[in-house]
Amino acid sequence: MRKQLSNWGNYPALDCEEAAFSVDEQLQQYVDSHEHIIARGNGRCYGDASLGEHSISTLRYDKVLAFDEATGEFECQSGITLDQVLDITVPKGWFLPVTPGTKFITIGGAVASDVHGKNHHAEGSFSNHIISMQVLTGKGLLTCSPTQETDLFWATCGGMGLTGVITTVKFRLKKIETAYIKQKQIKAKNLDEVIRLFDEHKHYTYSMAWIDCLQKGDSFGRSILIVGEHAKENELNDKQRQAPLTLPAKGKLTVPFNLPGFVLNNFTVKTFNALYYAKNYKRVIENVVPYEPFFYPLDAIHHWNRGYGKDGFVQYQFVLPLEHKDGLAAILHRIGEKGWGSFLAVLKVFGHQDDLISFPMEGYTLALDFPVRKGLFPFLDELDALVLEYGGRLYLSKDARMQQEVFWNSYPNARKFERIVQAYNPGGKFRSIQSDRLQFNYGSNNSNS
């Protein structure tokens, strides 16, 4: 069916054909009968990574194939979303090994973006927990793992769907005693303090900081650091202990339509940030909370992206290497000067990551939202130049606008990745408007020449 498609940022919107499949034969048939396609999951990447002239939705390809409750090995088709996985596994005492800030992404998307979570410094990205997977490549359906068809495996983790359509994924879950998190929130007066606090709390499995980037002077970069561990059964209160693996029931809020663009202006963002900071009236708060508000605070408001108006927004997420944390202040200063604040700015420390094309590297990552407006893209180009200067890079799953040279100059293995893509996806059958924008060379398809 032809439709106007866009991902979570509502930018860009593309008029394209979207099809779906629920069994292997339908996928194969679609791949055989279309020249260019790109797989799309739940549309929660922010930019254009899963948009193309023909997109194939994996959402109906959502079957659970195996779940070993003794070992925590889980195998499923790629279109199942994380919330469904959690519904199945949490009551049995198993949690996702890595989860991003929303549970409304598919497993295929988690692999293609090689997602990271609040535990990256301790447990790595999603690819670290994959046992094996199957990918329908330009050379047919192949099985790959860290020990088998390794080129394909590493080019598929974080490869934005360019090696083909991920069909099934087998991965390891993480044992939990309860569905709760023992969390600690600490206020930091400024950027230096929060960086120091991150370091002091690095033994925590989960950590991230909410940061107010509109403050100046002494409170520049004031933050709330949030760290946590899966709660043990004896850390729950009596009521929680009655059903330690079940979440309390609660309602859902929805933003029913796109708010006018002016709703999120400097004043409202400042007010929001001030209220958010002030709600923690004590410097340190410790409590036990269900996993949902800890991992997925924004999932409680369905369609929060509509808050940015119909022109949409881009989320700008970059990482800087540890030795260049001074760059963080420089970039935040530049954003502060511009005064184009962000509803949400999230700071997090990444641990070591050793792979081909995934986003994380040991260092600091910051994510900010910018509503699309006149002058935004030139401004982001200026920020890109700073990120590059400090040896950093941008997250492809959030990207909708970076210039191609920024990508090629910031991902050290980009050309090697491109060569592997050429081998498994000759001629570029699997391509998105993002990979076209980044000017991928897909090589030639011999069968056509």
Partner 1 sequence: MPTVLILGAGSDMAVAIARRYASAGYTLQLAARNPAQLHALEQDLRIRHQVAATSHAFDALNFDSHLSFYQSLPAQPDLVICVFGYLGDQEKGQSDWQEASRILHTNYTGAVSILNVAAEAMAARKNGMIIGISSVAGDRGRMSNYLYGSAKAGFTAYLSGLRNRLFHAGVHVMTVQPGFVDTQMTQHLTLPPLLTAKPAEVANDIFKAAGKKKNAIYTKWFWRYIMLIIKSIPEFMFKKLKL
Q: Residues interacting with partner 1, by CB under 8 A?
A: 1-3, 19-26, 60, 62-67, 77, 88
Instruction: Give the shortest CB-17-to-partner 1 separation in angstroms.
Output: 10
Q: Smaller CB distance to partner 1: residue 54 or 333? A: 54
Residue type, 52: G
- Which residue reads 């899966």 in tokens? 230
CB nearer to partner 1: pick between 26 and 205: 26
User: Which lies closer to partner 1 via its Cβ, residue 77 or residue 113?
Assistant: 77
Q: Which is nearer to partner 1, 26 or 268 (CB)?
A: 26
Q: Report in angstroms how near the CB of residue 60 gets to partner 1 at its nearest.
A: 6
Q: Are strands 54-57 and 38-40 parallel, antiparallel or unpaired?
A: parallel
Nearest to 273 by CA among 213, 208, 333, 362: 213
State the amino acid at position 437 in one-letter form.
R
Name the nearest CA neighbour of 180 among 234, 226, 129.
234
The DSSP bridge partners found for residue 228 are 183, 206
Tokens describing residue 5: 């498609």
End-to-end Cα separation, the chain, in angstroms? 31
3-state secondary structure of 375: coil
Minimum distance from residue 96 beta carbon to partner 1 (Å): 16
Nearer to partner 1 (CB atom), residue 84 or residue 145: 84
175: three-class secondary structure by DSSP: strand
Q: Which is nearer to partner 1, 1 or 278 (CB)?
A: 1
- With a CB cutoff of 8 Å and minimum separation 6, the contacts of 449 are none
* Tokens 């609660």 sit on residue: 250
Task: For the CB of residue 37, give the shortest distance to partner 1 in the complex, in Å.
Answer: 14
DSSP 182-204: EEEEEEESSHHHHHHHHHHTTTS
CB of residue 378 to partner 1, shortest distance in Å? 36
From the centroid of its chain, how far is CA 388?
21
Kindly tell me which of 26 and 190 has the beta carbon lying closer to partner 1: 26
Looking at residue 288, its amino acid is: V
**Considering only CA atoms, which of 60, 97, 96, 51 is closest in space to residue 80?**
60
Taking the complex as a whole, how short is the minimal distance between the CB of residue 68 and partner 1, in angstroms? 10
- Comparison of 84 and 280: residue with beta carbon closer to partner 1: 84
Q: How far is the CB of 174 from partner 1 (least distance, A)?
A: 18
> Considering the complex, what minimum distance in angstroms separates the CB of residue 77 from partner 1?
7
